[in-house]
Amino acid sequence: MGFFNRRTAAADPNTTAATGTHEKKPGIFSKRNHGAAATHHNGTPAWNTRPTFGQWIKATALDIITMAAMGAIGLGVYMAHPAPSRSFPVIFSDGEIVYPEFAYPLRNEIVPIWAAALMAALIPIAVFLICQIRIRSFWDVNNATIGLLYALITAAVFQVFVKWLIGGLRPHFLAVCKPVIPQSMRPQGNVANGYRQIMFDRSICTGDEKEINDSLESMPSGHTTAAFAGFVYLYLYLNAKLKVFSNYHPAMWKLIVIYAPILGACLIGGALTIDEYHNWYDILAGAVIGTVMAFSAYRMTYASVWDFRFNHIPLVRNAPFIYGAGPSTFDGFHSATFTRKAGWGEHDGSAWGGAPGDAADGPRGNMAQAAGAVDSAAHGAANGRGTHGGVVGTGGHSAGHSIDRRPVAGSRMGEQMV
């Protein structure tokens, strides 16, 4: 099968009756509201269908407004003057520099902040689009991009608030400050305030005001925050799509591919110690903030972070994903992986459980919607899965505690997805 050939979807979501036959799968931007590809069981719309533009706007409008508001807040805080009036030592009475680690020369950045932010955003988006050569899912690329923006914007706003309220001295602070201690302040040598009267504030600085403001806001590193938010998110995405930490032995190149973004983030952060723009603890703080936001954003938009059975499945907006309730061939996300090894991307690789975690072991069974008139209580007792084993009856209500994933409005899923 050629690399660009269209992948096919399983005809039957029932793991006990599936034969491995396939239907033709539309492309990522093709219309999916007609034909066999749009329905999988009893005329029910597949989850992996492309909405109209209006439906997409309805589903994502709140996110767009929130992102714009957070971006405006972050920009306003970034442009504000440092909040604290920080004191710092300059020289002892004999002329010795108290903290030479803040006396490095001002140098040009190896990686400017705009370049770090663009790479953290555009490189992952490019990878998302490349992966669609095989995945071809509008909702996968939508969730991946939206989740990336969650991580980048939230991390950026978080770090600018910390910079503004806490900050710290950059390694080149004294070179930028260009302190001049007036004679009136040192009648007996180096006299100011604090212990042994060696402390001063920015009133003795004679350098450029913008450079001084920037040099007072060292912690955390904005470069590192953006790099780790974007590239750790990409690492999680690649792991899910390549199934590196999964149920089979992958090739070594996949390990290299998923850690390449982590290497890039480390190089961007590490370069800041070479050009004397940040202290090591500034970089560590930025890495922690970016990583936390990346993990949080990925888990918001995908069914799992580490559970290899589900971490490739995009989540929908208003209906829960029922773990262990059936093969993803029903909702159309069984092929939302880039790898095709060990059955992944086909029915067999997506219909079975078997690892401990946030879902039951064993066959995933049927999706809640896929059942007809089945006694869900008896079925749940038979497979021993409790709330995850219930099957919806003809009325669409579970006799157990399963949740019907049918759309609440309309015949398409655009208003449900994000």
| pLDDT attached to residue 46 | 56
Neighbours of 356 (CB within 10 A): 9
**d(Cα 287, Cα 297) in Å, to the nearest integer?**
15
| pLDDT attached to residue 384 | 39
| pLDDT attached to residue 27 | 52
**d(Cα 223, Cα 205) in Å, to the nearest integer?**
26
| pLDDT attached to residue 267 | 94
| pLDDT attached to residue 109 | 87
The answer to whether residues 356 and 393 touch, using CB atoms and an 8 Å cutoff, is: no
Low-confidence ranges of the chain (pLDDT < 70): 1-48, 84, 92-95, 182-197, 324-332, 347-418
Give the residue carrying structure tokens 């490189």.
123
Residue range 102-155, pLDDT digits in tens:
888 888 888 888 899 999 999 999 999 999 988 888 889 999 999 999 999 999
| pLDDT attached to residue 104 | 87
Structure tokens at 201: 């504030």
**d(Cα 344, Cα 351) in Å, to the nearest integer?**
10
**d(Cα 47, Cα 106) in Å, to the nearest integer?**
54
Q: Looking at beta carbons, which pairs linking 37-44 to residues 24 or more positions away fall under 8 Å?
A: 37/9, 40/9, 40/11, 40/13, 40/329, 40/330, 40/331, 40/332, 40/370, 41/13, 41/330, 41/369, 41/370, 42/372, 44/369, 44/370, 44/406
| pLDDT attached to residue 93 | 62
**d(Cα 188, Cα 130) in Å, to the nearest integer?**
69
Structure tokens at 152: 């980048």
The answer to whether residues 401 and 395 touch, using CB atoms and an 8 Å cutoff, is: no
DSSP states of 273-284 as a string?
HHTTS--HHHHH
DSSP states of 40-74 as a string?
EETTEEPSS-PPPHHHHHHHHHHHHHHHHHHHHHH
Residue range 362-398, pLDDT digits in tens:
444 334 444 343 344 334 433 333 333 333 333 334 3
